[in-house]
Structure 1
């Protein structure tokens, strides 16, 4: 029996976040340039998105490009930007086929204008799709996001539009880029690295973390389903004890 058949569809995580890691190492193992790994990783994204759609995952957020990635060699950054543009343009029909809405979070204004324009078009074109929301975290970092939220709240207080005493977790969350989606219950990271790398730090306070040795270009639906099966075996207590849950 495959992992998909083991999934209890009544206890699916509503939101899955993924750190796609290992493209460069995968390409090196193939004797190729790092850009080849990124290109091959697109196939994994397509397969995983379809897998989420197949079983009913409502939100999928993937860490596509961090603010720290701007520090990579310029040739690799340029290749990533070109890949982003070509992928967005090529996959709009597929998004519609699976009724998937495209979303993006991060410092989008820092992207090349062509990326911004194509991203905006794709988001508007798929806005009415409602089976699954695919969010691309682009030029994103959790520290950046948290600082931006703090600045917005500070400005509201300065302009007498809010009192300091009114700021709580709910109010703070309303200023984050993920305001219109639930926090991820499951975070998956590929390639064997065991860290969250400045990704959704506020939102993942109670996420279940799943690490796999599989490099991202080799990650497929079955690997996703295996992660979900592992998630469903865990007891999520949120500070309580087992007896309280039972």
Structure 2
């Protein structure tokens, strides 16, 4: 049984979904088969995040560097992305999820944009949870873009250089529109951020797992969140040890969650 404290959830979770290709290779299948299996994991985790009541979930779906992959693999990924947007549209709207996208969206093919843009618009007022898809996204590129915008505003006399601080830069980063990530999960056994949410990740907790993304389940997701909840987030400070602890409530994958009067969740 995995225990998750429903009163101490991370607000914003980011996931680096790694391991699709290796999953396929281990089975003697083409990499595209791994990406298809990985799309099922996306559905599982989005539903689990919604059930838990997370504020925001950002998925690293396609990096700026992924354009350098073989064209056949890129085409397959774009096709799966379109399929996800079409098949999940009803559920996203039904459950009042706001869908946003970050990255160089102009580089996406028309078959993706014709499904992505209408869904972004139709879900814009939803407030139950935000699902952010990082598409053609790179953390370094995002920082560079924000810096260029600031430089142009200074050049045009719209911004005093003395007023530029951490918040001024952060306000120009779409990835932080849902707040800084509290927890970043990476699957597939690698231990690096790979250009994901670099600016916002300054104080994020990191969770790494050897599980390949297509095999990532609700239980794995809950375990990462439970690990986050066992950590003390100090943000450079020294915290008091006097705070009383709360007993975590049990969250079982697949079971409906209902709020109790004390703010916990019961299965």
User: TM-score of the superposition, structure 1-length normalised?
Assistant: 0.96
Counterpart CA distance in 2 for 1:219 and 1:133 is 21
Indicate whether 1:174 and 2:171 are aligned.
yes
Indicate whether 1:70 and 2:72 are aligned.
no
1:205 — aligned with what? 202
Measure how far apart 1:245 and its partner are: 7.9
Pairs within 5 Å for 1:29-108: 29-108=26-105
2:157 — aligned with what? 160
2:211 — aligned with what? 214
Of 164-173 and 234-243, deviating more is 234-243
Of 186-195 and 109-118, deviating more is 109-118
For residue 184 of structure 1, the aligned residue among 175, 181, 190 is 181
Give aligned pairs, total.
243
Counterpart CA distance in 1 for 2:163 and 2:10 is 31
Counterpart CA distance in 1 for 2:190 and 2:237 is 29
Pairs within 5 Å for 1:225-236: 225-236=222-233
Of 68-77 and 112-121, deviating more is 112-121
Counterpart CA distance in 1 for 2:56 and 2:13 is 6
Instruction: Please tell me whether the aligned partners of residues 176 and 200 of structure 2 are also in contact (alpha carbons under 8 angstroms).
Output: no
Instruction: Please tell me whether the aligned partners of residues 186 and 231 of structure 1 are also in contact (alpha carbons under 8 angstroms).
Output: yes
The structure that is helix-richer by fraction is 1
Counterpart CA distance in 1 for 2:104 and 2:80 is 18
Counterpart CA distance in 2 for 1:82 and 1:240 is 47
Instruction: Please tell me whether the aligned partners of residues 237 and 245 of structure 1 are also in contact (alpha carbons under 8 angstroms).
Output: no
Call closer, same or farther: CA 1:8–1:244 in 2, change over 3 Å.
closer
Measure how far apart 1:34 and its partner are: 0.5
Measure how far apart 1:125 and its partner are: 1.5
Measure how far apart 1:179 and its partner are: 4.0
Q: Deviations over 1:87-144 (max 9, x none)?
A: 1111101212322111100000111122122110111122222211110000000010
Structure 2: give runs of 5+ residues left out of the alignment. 244-267
Determine helix, strand or coil for the equivalent of 1:205.
Answer: helix
Query: Structure 1 residue runs of 4+, over 4 Å off?
Result: none
Counterpart CA distance in 1 for 2:79 and 2:7 is 40
Indicate whether 1:240 and 2:237 are aligned.
yes
Q: Deviations over 1:161-212 (max 9, x none)?
A: 0111111111111111124211010000001100000001100000000000
Measure how far apart 1:57 and its partner are: 0.5
Measure how far apart 1:83 and its partner are: 1.2
Of 126-135 and 142-151, deviating more is 126-135
Counterpart CA distance in 1 for 2:76 and 2:177 is 31
1:8 — aligned with what? 5
